[in-house]
Structure 1
Amino acid sequence: MTVPAPLVAPSLRRRMACWLYEALILFAVALIATLVFSVAAQMRHGLDPRQWLLQLFIAAVFGVYFAYFWSRGQTLPMKTWRIAIVDREGRPLTQGRAFLRYVFCAIWVLPPLAALASRHFTLPELGVIFAGWVAFWALLSRFHPQRQFWHDAWAGTRLVDAPEPVRATIRA
């Protein structure tokens, strides 16, 4: 019988490195989703009046991406940084709980998007607002008893250290 690993939160540095890697993956996913939408809707330019439909489509694609991979325990960046996602008791997430976490994760981008929508800020100012908000939200995890992000607490999920993969040894 194997003893389950303790549910220890990865360091904030590792979680944020994973977060940046995830942003790169999402950029690629968004490019592909935009191509599919643009071809299907015959969208010719970015000022098309149906632009809001494209934004909803990309948000839905992101939701499917995260619900699928989180319900299986890890995304590619999470595997790279040896981070897993489980529920409060350490069990794998259901797709419903994974999607709920996706909804709560919107806290990472909603305040900067509200600043963007206000049209009161220049692009450099928005960059500072976004970076400041991300840093603030990430540092708030220091005040959680298990050092989890607050959106994880709200969704009933936890980021934990993933076990080292077992490597097969080849004998000559």
Structure 2
Amino acid sequence: MSHQPHLQTAGFIRRIGALVYDTCLILLLEILAAGVIVAILEAMTAIGILHYGDYKDVGNFLTHHPLWSTIFTAYLAIIWIGFFVWFWTQKRQTLGMKVWRLVVSNEDGTPITITQALIRLFTSGFGLSNLTVPLDPQKRGFHDIWAKTNLYVIPKDNA
């Protein structure tokens, strides 16, 4: 694989900046997604097609019901995973990465695959893998090493 000589590998501070930004975005997205489900369930309860039974309210129902808590958790996980996989594979950057002028790609500059995005996400440790960036001579995080990806800085004139 040829290295992208015109792009600098992203350092620790930029990675953490993008991580903080994306964390705020994904939390907002998850809150909105959960709010949609809560609104639907509350509307169903109001018109009489759903009853919470022994569960005192919608929150208790969604967190303790054996089936619905699993479905609700899976729904939120799919949104979280889908956010990163879609942005990394389709746009090559999340919104936080865009703000910090970062792009994820293979060393030859090609976009990463869905498999690489999933490996990158599931080995990231919710961003903790970025702690390995200062220890790696090529400034890669643990997740980038495993996924065979890299995070590059886009020069200001290309941003």
Q: TM-score, normalised by structure 2?
A: 0.73
Shift of 1:40: 4.7
2:158, 2:139 → 1: CA distance? 27
Q: What residue number does 1:123 align with?
A: none
Matching residue of 2:16: 16
2:88 is equivalent to residue 64 of structure 1 = no
* 3-state DSSP of counterpart to 2:111: coil
Q: State the secondary structure of the residue aligned to 2:60.
A: coil
1:36 partner letter: V
SS of corresponding position for 2:152: strand
* 1:59 Cα offset (Å): 1.1
Distance 1:65 1:139, change over 3 A: closer
- TM-score normalised per structure 1: 0.68
Shift of the alpha carbon at 1:165? 4.8
Query: Where does residue 96 of structure 1 map in the other structure?
Result: 115
1:142 matched to 2:134? The reply is yes
How large is the RMSD of aligned CA atoms in angstroms?
Answer: 2.4
Per-residue deviation at 1:28? 1.0
Question: How many angstroms does 1:82 deviate by?
Answer: 0.5
Query: Which one has the largest radius of gyration?
Result: 2
1:81 partnered with 2:94:
no
Corresponding residue for residue 154 of structure 2? 162
Where in structure 2 are there 5+ consecutive unaligned residues? 43-51
What is the SS of the residue equivalent to 1:74?
A: coil
Query: 1:95 Cα shift?
Result: 2.8
Distance in 2 (alpha carbons) for counterparts of 1:89 and 1:75? 20
2:49: which partner in 1? none
Q: 1:36 to 1:162 in 2, by over 3 A?
A: same
Q: 1:160 to 1:25 in 2, by over 3 A?
A: same
Structure 1 moving runs of 4+ over 6 Å? none
Secondary structure, counterpart of 1:47 in structure 2: helix
**Aligned mates of 1:108, 1:62 — CA distance in 2:** 11
State the distance in 2 between where 1:39 and 1:83 align: 36
Give unpaired runs (5+ residues) of structure 1.
Answer: 110-133, 168-172
Is the CA contact 2:34–2:76 (under 8 Å) kept in the aligned structure 1?
Answer: yes
Q: What is the aligned-residue identity percentage?
A: 24
